[in-house]
Chain A
């Protein structure tokens, strides 16, 4: 089966006054049909910029400087802005992090949904409205007909995120990129939204890229997981494998810093130090200054190792009995 999305050697750099900021550096991955992929990493690791790069929504001074983004076989980076617009919202949709900010405060929810329908399909306003209403119903918003005339400030955060999801679903896209869609919500609402998205993705056969810094959320949702650090994917593989037997020291470091994953009574072990400034990344492995296993060889670029469906970039990976 051909993958929905294939990203090859993607590099997105920001040309700032203080130098070139390599937000995304030589990132490659694929997303299969109906697959849910979790993209995890700390703030500033480049995971959101990866998402925006796919949609061609990187704001200046940022620019995709290299790579290919093959979507259903066609390279999105070679497309004209007009052609790209017909993909955005239609074939690839995106859900943003902060539902308080993603809806325009002065336009009614109906207006913002109808314009999405009419941006891609030549249909009457009445039909666009009917489709919007159905989408609202689908994501569990009560009395959707009346809610179309409401404004964003009349919704709670969770409800607004449901509206954003409904907008993403309007055209039944092949791929949804969800950029930390539950981070800004209460825990109880988080799990509802999570459940809702998982159900809808399965129902409509959509692939999903779930960007998050929350390993627990990704563990509950994703089929595959990719761990990003300093603009690169340092480890990728099936969720169960990566979380139970991480190969890259950064992944294991992340896991021992998650409260729920550490047995009760044992101290959390935060990763020492800070992520390097993206303006002055050390050569070689960017994690080596914080890594207990680092040796001199880590000053050179680690190659991508592929073993048993697992990819990682490390000279000194953890070894597990099975490996």
Chain B
């Protein structure tokens, strides 16, 4: 385990370093932020001064090494637009996105696993057909369209739920989240559903396939021959086997949910990092984009680590560290 953690940590550092290089060069190639930041009627001298203060006059490699050196000291640069540390901007917005994605994920799992089980245990029944058809919609209708429909139905026609913003944020045990106020929850429901519909369909299908593949296996029949109850067969014997593919996919999907909450955040004007990213790319706010991607990569690495640990807990055949 210790060996595994150390090795994983070293690998992660390498991944972060490579990402930093790629992202830095990529964003450098997009365009010149000076064009966006400086008003067209500024004088040549003012212009030169701003460019120099931002360090944009230096060659690429020098800019990169300044960035890398500062990054090693925990400083990912200041936003050109807000003139504040970019990392602070991200961490300000991150809780909103985390709360959105985690709520969406819980929703997808809490609803998806039972529906998938139901479907898989009674294949080709009417229930199965309904669930499968529903999941096709979840898969194939574009997320932005689903979001707009949700707004139209629940905000415009029925007037039940608000359509924009994060609402009131409550505090519980030092954590700020809109989960802790009624107003916050109301604001959270629609974007969370929008974000989770695709994952819900995915969880349903994964669970269903898992059940269908596991039920005919010999060990299920053997468990029946032992006189074990059907309930225990489904919830212990089969379920624990399904968890293996489920954890793999969910781990990957959680990362992509975080990174691509952009669409949902834009539709519902949710003040999360996805929206910050889009705004920053539009304004060529390099430090924020770089810092954002590094934070997302770190989150991916962390999620993958958690997935590997969960793996070893669910599947006894997996032992972390490789060599025994």
Binding site for B on A (CB under 8 A): 55, 57, 59, 85-90, 93-94, 96, 98, 101-108, 112, 115-116, 119-120, 151, 153, 164, 167
Interface of B is mostly: helix
Contact bitstring B228-239, A, C-beta under 8 A = 1, else 0: 110010001100
A89 touches B228 (CB 8 A): yes
Measured CA separation A102–B221 after assembly (Å):
8
Task: Count A-B contacts at CB 8 Å.
Answer: 77
- With a CB–CB cut-off of 8 A, which chain A residues contact B164? none
Measured CA separation A86–B229 after assembly (Å):
10
Shortest Cβ gap from A175 to chain B (Å): 12
User: Which of the residues B216, B222, B240 comes within 8 Å of A96, measured between beta carbons?
Assistant: B222
Contact bitstring B281-324, A, C-beta under 8 A = 1, else 0: 00000000000000000000000000000000011110000000
Shortest Cβ gap from B188 to chain A (Å): 35
If the complex has contacts A101-B218, A103-B219, A106-B315, are A119 and B228 also in contact, measured as CB distance less than 8 A?
yes
Residue of A nearest to B316 (CB): A151
**Is B58 part of the contact surface with A, judged by Cβ < 8 Å?**
no
Interface size class of B (residues with CB under 8 A): 20 to 34
If the complex has contacts A104-B241, A153-B316, are A89 and B218 also in contact, measured as CB distance less than 8 A?
no
If the complex has contacts A89-B225, A116-B228, are A106 and B316 also in contact, measured as CB distance less than 8 A?
yes
Measured CA separation A120–B317 after assembly (Å):
30
A93 touches B225 (CB 8 A): yes
If the complex has contacts A85-B227, A115-B232, A119-B228, are A107 and B222 also in contact, measured as CB distance less than 8 A?
no
Residue of B nearest to A87 (CB): B227
Shortest Cβ gap from A250 to chain B (Å): 29
- CB-contacts of B180-216 with A (<8 A): 216
- With a CB–CB cut-off of 8 A, which chain B residues contact A59? 216, 221
Residue of A nearest to B244 (CB): A106
Of the candidates B217, B228, B241, the one having the most CB atoms from chain A within 10 angstroms of its own CB is B228
A107 touches B227 (CB 8 A): no
Measured CA separation A93–B229 after assembly (Å):
15
**Is B71 part of the contact surface with A, judged by Cβ < 8 Å?**
no
- With a CB–CB cut-off of 8 A, which chain A residues contact B221? 57, 59, 96
Known pairs A96-B222, A153-B316; list 4 more (Cβ under 8 Å).
Answer: A59-B216, A86-B227, A108-B316, A167-B226
Shortest Cβ gap from A84 to chain B (Å): 9
Shortest Cβ gap from B218 to chain A (Å): 4
B225 touches A57 (CB 8 A): yes
Residue of A nearest to B225 (CB): A94
Measured CA separation A233–B163 after assembly (Å):
73
Residue of A nearest to B222 (CB): A102
